[in-house]
Structure 1
């Protein structure tokens, strides 16, 4: 029996690949397995090759596997594009309709199953995804009743007759392949899972849930891949808590609505991807100038322009740090796991109000859309901090205005909500004095700039870097961000087996850069390897800018739209030793 296995399904977009993956993985989650999924999909609504890959394990996992055990193929293209991943002795379950064949040199078992024909016999070809699922599930020797329960959950809203038909499709696929293979494949039998309850979600859903727990009650947004699921999640959830989501006409409207809502006292956020964030930059500058808290999620994708909207990249780092004209205080967080997507959203809202500035939560497509297992969330950790929000302002003299932008020792001024007695003041995007009145005084200008920028001098953020440093002086200090952290950890196991000592830092606070926490590890490192999905080494540039160590830094870059695999990280690091 084996402790982990990799399964992939491929076909044309709109052919049921996504729903097959969803039901298959839901059933595995019910059994208590740890899962890590990744979607490769086209930017077209229908048509174009798509595939979903799931890694199944009895232990926690945070990376895509290098190889593949089972491939379910709805067309020959899926075999041609993905067969190279199959390990020796792997399996292909393919629709007999297209007379499937394996590419030359592929050592795998091919099981042609009349997937479409069986579905047609049951009344509709739409059920071919259930036939395929049943076939691959049966080869693993897993209990069919668990899978049928997942089918009931998926189709229950359509009525008992639809559920019954789909359950029958699963059974037909299972029976056919078991007869063809002579029973379940012993080499693919998984060890029993721990059976413990786990959450199974994408990063976007975790961020939506985190925003909800943080007290967010308004989200204006414009749909864009790969951020749309944040909005879709909150569309379903916010009304239950007295909140709402508005689909705006564009991203400019979305960010300005979010700023306005925060000014009015309602915690609000928006979410987008690179092109949308470009449109938001002027308004983000307004939030910085008016010291209005706002939370923005940027789910990175391939750029520039429309670029590769459905592919992996980490190329928005510079844009998120430097994108606004002029200079404002801002905070850029980068969660690296599903759990961090949840907890970091709560912290983002607290930081935005504590420091009265924009907070950008930066993810990437792999983390945003990759479905993963995670531990049950601890809601006792949720704490709401509204910063210097004043609710009982002292009485003012006649014609005196509230000093909303008062010069203070820590640079953070008292904040009031509209309607607060004795809290009246001006709000403007031009430079202003302590009461908000426009001012072009050179002396005031310098003091206001110093005040705003100084707010972050002593910023306190939970775990600005995540460190795994078992060696005092390692051969390599590997640095990563966002979704690549788990991939690095898996590659490190192989490196250590080869005698290469490694430490690992995942940077979680990109701006202001956590130099004080990072420096001791950089100082001791013989060589620093910075891993990132972009062409211009943006994360490495931040390290050089804030700390130096240019003579130690080596960059490993990948910008072809695909995520890092453990083997790629291992080979690249091995060459640098």
Structure 2
């Protein structure tokens, strides 16, 4: 019996590949296994190779597995593209319709199962994916009845007959493989799971739930991969809580609408990806100058320009920190798990209002669209903090020609904030430099005073921010290696670390959750104590490594492990890259 399994289904986009993976994963989740799934898909609606790789484990997992145990193929291209991942004696379950062949020299087992033929006998070729699920169940020695609840949830609205036929398809697929294997027990039978109920969701859904729980009641956005699921979630659920979503004509309008709503006192957000964020930069600067709260979710993808719209990358970091013209206070934070996506979304809304500035919640395609097992979210941890916003102040009557000091110079840089229309609270709002009342002013002393006020408001944030650096397995005082990463690289790094520890290396890990203002005081001692620092990131220029050097020094210790081909890191890739670097540096 095995403690974990790597399973992949592939075929042409639009022929049910995603639903096949979803139903298989839902059944595994129902049984209590931990899951991690990642879908490879093309930037078009139909056609082109797509696959869904799902890792099933009896213990928590946060990354894909290096190899592959079972490949379910709906066409020959799936075999040709993915067979190299299969372990020795791995299994290919393929539709007999296309007469599947295995490349010469591949040590794998092929089951040619008539997916399409069986499905047609039951009334519809669309059920071929259910036949494939049944065939997989036979290999894993799973009771096909375990799928009933999932099939009913998926197809129950279409009637009892449809549910019955889909269950028959699963059963016939299992029976065919059992007949072909002649009762030989599979070596891929999973150990029993703990049976606990957990959620299984993409990062975008967790972020959306966090935004909703954190009091967001307005979203303005323009559809873009991989951020669209946030807008779709909010369209479906926000009206139930008195909120609304507007699909704008472009990302500039989305950002300015969100700024307007926040100015009026409504917690409002927008979400996009790299190309959309480029268009929002002037508006983000406006939020910084007018000290208006604004939360922007950036789900990074391959760039530049249209780039790789449906592939993994982490190349927006420098743009998110330094992209706006001029200098404004800005917070950039980065969750590394689905759970953190929920809690950080709540925190982003709080910080935007407390510090009256833009907050970028930085995700990437792997976290945004990849699926992870999630323990039930703790809503008791959710608190709403609105900072210096006074909803119903009793303000003294203003003398003629005087205005409320909305941009009052304060010691901590955070000015009083009231809602527009407040009695005796009139003030001016403009994107040009202004005095304490908002009135435009280009006087040099005023410019210095207002600029210094805005910039000092974030001075102490790294000390107040909850866990700006996630220190996983930090227990070696003077490690050979210190890994540094952010967002979705966490799981692959942790597994690579485990292998390096088995090889006798002392290894620590710091995953950065607050990227700007940078938590230098917290991370510098970790760099100082390490012999070598390995920064793992998905871009070609080492953006996180450069941020690290700028804020801490220690450039002579820092080495980058980079990947920018659009695919996620696997633990083995990081391990082998590090072994090469360790040899170079002599840190054995």
Query: TM-score with structure 2 length normalisation?
Result: 0.97
Matches of 1:165 and 1:403, distance apart in 2: 70
Tell me if 1:61 matches 2:61: yes
Tell me if 1:419 matches 2:421: yes
Tell me if 1:529 matches 2:534: yes
Task: Find the counterpart in structure 1 of residue 457 from structure 2.
Answer: 455
Q: Are the counterparts in 1 of residues 398 and 424 from structure 2 also a CA contact under 8 Å?
A: no
Q: Are the counterparts in 2 of residues 393 and 420 from structure 1 also a CA contact under 8 Å?
A: no
Alignment of 1:439-454 (within 5 A): 439-454=441-456
Alignment of 1:46-57 (within 5 A): 46-57=46-57
Q: Are the counterparts in 2 of residues 263 and 293 from structure 1 also a CA contact under 8 Å?
A: yes
- Secondary structure at the aligned position of 1:188 is classed as coil
Task: Find the counterpart in structure 2 of residue 355 from structure 1.
Answer: 355
Equivalent in 478, 488, 492 of residue 487 of structure 1: 492
Q: What's the offset of the Cα at 1:103? A: 1.0
Task: Find the counterpart in structure 1 of residue 309 from structure 2.
Answer: 309
Task: Find the counterpart in structure 1 of residue 585 from structure 2.
Answer: none
Q: Are the counterparts in 2 of residues 302 and 315 from structure 1 also a CA contact under 8 Å?
A: yes
Task: Find the counterpart in structure 1 of residue 79 from structure 2.
Answer: 79
Task: Find the counterpart in structure 1 of residue 586 from structure 2.
Answer: none
Equivalent in 452, 465, 471 of residue 467 of structure 1: 471
Q: What's the offset of the Cα at 1:394? A: 2.1
Task: Find the counterpart in structure 2 of residue 211 from structure 1.
Answer: 211
Q: What's the offset of the Cα at 1:378? A: 0.8
Aligned pairs, number: 577
Task: Find the counterpart in structure 1 of residue 435 from structure 2.
Answer: 433
Task: Find the counterpart in structure 2 of residue 104 from structure 1.
Answer: 104
Q: What's the offset of the Cα at 1:461? A: 1.2
Matches of 2:398 and 2:489, distance apart in 1: 57
Decide whether aligned partners of structure 1 residues 441 and 393 sit closer, same or farther in structure 2, where only a CA change above 3 A counts.
farther
Task: Find the counterpart in structure 2 of residue 126 from structure 1.
Answer: 126
CA displacement 1:33-64 (0-9 Å, x = unmatched): 00000111111110000000000000000010
Task: Find the counterpart in structure 2 of residue 172 from structure 1.
Answer: 172
Alignment of 1:272-421 (within 5 A): 272-390=272-390, 391-399=392-400, 400-421=402-423
Q: Are the counterparts in 2 of residues 140 and 184 from structure 1 also a CA contact under 8 Å?
A: no
Q: What's the offset of the Cα at 1:159? A: 2.2
Matches of 2:58 and 2:184, distance apart in 1: 19
CA displacement 1:134-187 (0-9 Å, x = unmatched): 111222112212212111111122222222221221112111111112347431
Decide whether aligned partners of structure 1 residues 511 and 185 sit closer, same or farther in structure 2, where only a CA change above 3 A counts.
farther
Matches of 2:327 and 2:111, distance apart in 1: 61
Q: What's the offset of the Cα at 1:2? A: 0.9
Matches of 1:275 and 1:162, distance apart in 2: 43
Query: Which structure 1 segments of 5+ residues have no match?
Result: none
Equivalent in 564, 580, 584 of residue 575 of structure 1: 580
Matches of 1:194 and 1:208, distance apart in 2: 29
CA displacement 1:430-452 (0-9 Å, x = unmatched): 11110111111111011000000
Tell me if 1:518 matches 2:528: no
CA displacement 1:530-558 (0-9 Å, x = unmatched): 11100000000001111110111111111
RMSD: 1.0
Equivalent in 541, 546, 554 of residue 549 of structure 1: 554
Q: Are the counterparts in 2 of residues 139 and 184 from structure 1 also a CA contact under 8 Å?
A: no
CA displacement 1:356-413 (0-9 Å, x = unmatched): 0000000111110001101111111001100001131421333221110000010000
Matches of 1:575 and 1:202, distance apart in 2: 34
Q: Are the counterparts in 1 of residues 36 and 54 from structure 2 also a CA contact under 8 Å?
A: yes
- Secondary structure at the aligned position of 1:186 is classed as coil
Q: What's the offset of the Cα at 1:97? A: 0.5
Alignment of 1:10-25 (within 5 A): 10-25=10-25
Q: Are the counterparts in 2 of residues 216 and 266 from structure 1 also a CA contact under 8 Å?
A: yes
Tell me if 1:505 matches 2:515: no
Q: Are the counterparts in 2 of residues 393 and 423 from structure 1 also a CA contact under 8 Å?
A: no
Q: What's the offset of the Cα at 1:526? A: 0.5
